[in-house]
Chains A and B, each alone.
Chain A
């Protein structure tokens, strides 16, 4: 692939997936480093663009690159956080929460409470991917995906439905 072709390909890819990539970055980082993770995802997409062989859909491929990058970023962030004091209040988070609707807050809170794998799966669910596509992205089989999604649904119901009057 020539550099121009690569650039065109990347441009098209970004035009379709930008919002999705931003959402992944937002779900896997602190408010202060969303931009960093977003840039890192774009960088990995650019580097991986030659490896797209067409054996999976473009959408699935984008998810794989973005989620692998986000999970790696999350690991590195956790390592850094272990060495930092956590007494400061993130004013950006407070501001963001203030601007969010109640439903958005529930969604964010629920996503943040999930394990990294469940969070990744949940993002795929929210974007309407089929179980087969989810299995393709995560490396689990379709049965495992169903079981996990069922548990996530149960967890949500326990947390937010059973507490409703």
Chain B
């Protein structure tokens, strides 16, 4: 399946919790429903917390990719 093209992206590597989530949330608020946000976050605490919080906000995580020591998330704004 063809990957949806991200409308925006955030590199949150090295950004601590919960700042990484807040930045993600703020970015999503600027975006239109259905658009995709690409986020890079660290393994460890960020990957344990951020997807959960995004999900609780009602957005959809459509792809999770592990690249070395970090993760690439594709989030669809709902």
Decide whether A and B assemble into one complex.
no
User: B interface vs A, CB < 8 Å?
Assistant: none
